[in-house]
Structure 1
Amino acid sequence: MDKPKLWTKDFIIVTTVNFFITLVFYLLIVIMGIYVVEHYNASTSQAGLVTGICIVGALIGRIFIGSQIEKIGRKKTLYIGLALYTITTAMYFIQIDINFLLVIRLLQGIVLGVASTATGTIVAQIIPRTRKGEGIGYYSMSSPLATAIGPFIGFLMIQHASFNMIFALCVVVTIISLVTAFFLYVPKLEDFSTTEKELKRFSVSNFIEIKAIPIAIITLVVAFCYSSILSYINFYAIEIDQVATASFFFLVYSLAVLLSRPFTGRLLDMKGANYVMYPAFILFTIGLFLLSIGNNAIALLTAGALIGLGFGNLQSCTQAIAVKITPPHRMGLATSTFFIFLDAGLGFGPYLLGFFITFMTYGNLYGLLSGVVLLSSILYFFLYGKKEKQLANE
């Protein structure tokens, strides 16, 4: 029997759109701190607030749209999110003061949360059920690609172009993503009337998909650990005198993710999530531990590859689990729930881990977090692993 087709026009479109909006997000993340310091003479703490408030906005957007996406319509939600994303990006040209910039960043985060929840929900709908793991694995590759390319473009343009040129490029990319989305076809759900009845009464389940919470907790823990990489790898590189090597860390990480996702996605569909999750926990643990004891280029880059194989596949696998165990008409809520917990780990992790840095080295911190990841594999066993077959077939 032939496999149902995965690489359809609509799958390619929604993956491309997600790549574009994520690229703009990460490009702006790396240049925003420098921009506010140079343009508004902001302090370091103000620069950090302007940079990070976008993540807070994304959390707000996901919480709101998770309960409304089925009422509005998945495709219409995507259009609204992309249109507003373009508008808020263009608003960077209106340069009044830092408070106005904070409002723009918050608003852009909110509409990013709306748009990315819509793309994640739509892709979960159009991927054939028997190829969910493989499909989401390919789709989620758009994020690490954007994570690598966005900052690279940002750092390059800071050296050779003005900030207005950078903002102009971001506007062009968001317009392209909006136009591309108009060629997307999203089938209607047959059981939406049931969803409307559910949404008329106030309930926590209108904002959070209860079935997705156990696996989302695992996502929160591993994202919290990975946030230490995003926030402190450059500081750690200075500490161990490997600044030049650190610039290649995320490139190696992205390559590891890109090369492994096709295989891990198929393995998830054929054998189940446990065959991917447990090895990924181990690889992430080893990667963080190697990072904690390594003080040379080979150790740093090897750790990058192992963390890519570990966290990169944990992220896509937990997302696939969240939508697999959820009824079709609640995929929007499941996707929103997954990203809320992911963003919470990535967004609040650096702030909380900052307290540990006051009394330990970065190497010690990574060693401690390697233990946390290992323990989270035990938590996964009790929350999902031991009852995987039962939950997946419900």
Structure 2
Amino acid sequence: MKEKLWTKNFISISVSNLFLFLSFYLLLTTLPIYALQDLHTKESSVGLIVSVFLFAAIIIRPIAGQQMERFGKRFLFLVSLSIFLVSSILYFLTDSLTSILLLRFFHGLGFGIATTAAGTIVAETLPDSRRGEGMGYFAMSMNLAMAFGPFLGLTALNEFGIHSVFMMAFCFSIISFIAGLLIHLPATKVIKSKEVKFNFKLNALIERSAVKVSLFAALFGIIYSSIISFVSVYAKSIGLTSVGSYFFIVYAIVLLISRPFTGKWFDLYGAKYIVYASIILFGAGMVLLSLSSSPVIFLISAAFIGVGYGTLFSSLQTIVIQDAPSEKRGLATATYFSIYDLGMSIGSFVVGIILSKVGFHALYGGSVFLIVLGIGIFYLITKQQGTNEVTEIKKIS
């Protein structure tokens, strides 16, 4: 008999995470436009709006992961959601780039703590035999937010102005906080110890077992940054402006359809086969994207990338959590997201430079070489650690 997956805690943390990321993506896509059009910010400075946010998240995650057992996962998660909620209100008061950057740093701290705590909480609410499946569904909340957040934000901005975006982000933050309140962890899993003190040594801020897989994820984060940052611009450049906004919608729909199968296969057959298959599908999607000349090919590439990259991201997160000692899952989650976000940040900058030199077709086509390199790297990781140590879960009877 299968262990129960859709518990109250799992549903609550997934809903909370969905609206947290909806708020994140709403602002990610609209604040640069607001800064340019309303605050008359220089284009060279707009990138700081994203960089400052991610920088704050990166520096706070290791600390949050380290202190998870001291203050309790649920408590830290609610604190982070409170920061998110307060930040959403303060956007109404921003009237300069400086005020936005200060707020983005504060907001990023909340985001860093929230993503670390959420990943740890969901890992502990899932039964071991269905962890791959459950983590896949949980990751889908981020994927759905990535698809619909920018669409809702840009639509609201164009139709009603920036204050409607701020109000929407505020409402989503409220829903996320309410869903977070519904989470109740068993007392045995919330350990508050005064003996756990702040330790700023590298070994205390980074879970070593998570580093290799996290660096591997960061490599693909660099590739993926070329999509999330420039695919709409690419669509416009090849005369597909009308379908450009549907790229992430198709991405999310296909991922939603495939998730019940890919998660179960992860639990049945282990990480190795799912990761390899995901990389191949992702690579096929990038090839199709580079060759796109019609709406059909463009949207088919979105489908391949959705299944490939979406499954890969959640699978690697599951590997990191499985490989870490139970008392260090929070730190492992923090390590994973911090290194991954670093890859995304570096990628957004580097990809922009490469794009100006080679163009879109060469950029997306050339990324396949990095994807092939990724297959070799993952092979070395599994060879060094052993497949069972990387994450080979018992087959479900």
Normalised by the length of structure 2, the TM-score is: 0.94
Secondary structure of the corresponding residue to residue 28 of structure 2: helix
Q: Would the aligned equivalents of 2:223 and 2:367 in 1 still touch at CA under 8 Å? A: yes
Aligned residue identity for 2:272: N
Quote the offset at 1:198 in angstroms: 7.3
- 1:274 equivalent in structure 2: 272
Question: Within 5 A, what are the aligned runs for 1:1-394?
Answer: 2-189=1-188, 203-384=201-382, 387-392=386-391
Letter in 2 for 1:109: G
User: Aligned partners of 1:95, 1:381: CA distance in 2, in Å?
Assistant: 49
Shift of residue 205 of structure 1? 2.5
Q: Which stretch of the first structure deviates more once superposed, 97-106 or 4-13?
A: 97-106
Structure-2 change in CA distance of 1:202 and 1:167 (3 Å): closer
* Range that drifts further, 206-215 or 235-244: 235-244
Shift of 1:222: 0.8
Q: Provide the rounded CA distance (Å) in 1 between the counterparts of 2:138 and 2:35.
A: 33
Query: Could you tell me how far apart the structure 2 residues matched to 1:238 and 1:58 are?
Result: 32
C-alpha distance in 2 between matches for 1:92 and 1:390: 46
AA aligned opposite 2:66: S
Q: Which amino acid aligns with 1:355?
A: I
CA contact (8 A) 1:189 1:329 kept: no
**Alpha-carbon distance change, 271 to 88 in structure 1, aligned in 2, over 3 angstroms:** same
Deviation at 1:117, TM superposition (A): 1.1
Contact 1:32 1:51 in 2 (8 A): no
Deviation, 1:162, is 2.8
Structure 1 CA distance, aligned partners of 2:227 and 2:199? Answer: 42
Report the aligned-residue RMSD: 1.9
Distance 1:385 1:264 in 2: 23
Superposed displacement of residue 251, structure 1: 0.8
How many residues are treated as equivalent by the alignment? 392
Change (3 A) 1:209 1:189: farther
Distance 1:282 1:148, change over 3 A: same
Q: Which range is displaced more, 365-374 or 293-302?
A: 293-302
Q: Is the 8 A contact 1:61 1:112 kept in 2?
A: no
User: Given that residues 134 and 264 in structure 1 are in contact (C-alpha distance below 8 angstroms), is that contact kept between their aligned partners in structure 2?
Assistant: yes
The alpha carbon displacement at 1:196 in A equals: 7.3
Q: Residues 279, 202 of structure 1: CA spacing in aligned structure 2 closer, same or farther, 3 A cutoff?
A: same
TM superposition shift of 1:209: 1.0
Superposed CA offset, 1:242-265 (max 9, x none):
111211111111112111122111
- Asked if the contact 2:131–2:267 (Cα under 8 Å) also holds between the matched residues in 1, the reply is yes
Q: 1:244 to 1:58 in 2, by over 3 A?
A: same
Paired residue secondary structure (2:293) = coil
What's the CA shift for 1:269? Answer: 0.7
Secondary structure (helix, strand or coil) at the match of 1:359 reads helix
Identity, in percent, stands at 32
Give 1:204 shift. 2.1
- What SS class does the counterpart of residue 267 from structure 1 fall into? helix
Which deviates more from structure 2 when the two are superposed, residues 82-91 or residues 92-101? 92-101
Q: 1:38 to 1:146 in 2, by over 3 A?
A: same
- Closer, same or farther in 2 for the Cα pair 1:354/1:393, shift >3 Å? closer
Q: In 1, distance between residues paired with 2:392 and 2:238?
A: 49
Q: Give the 3 Å change call, closer, same or farther, for CA 358–164 of structure 1 in structure 2.
A: closer
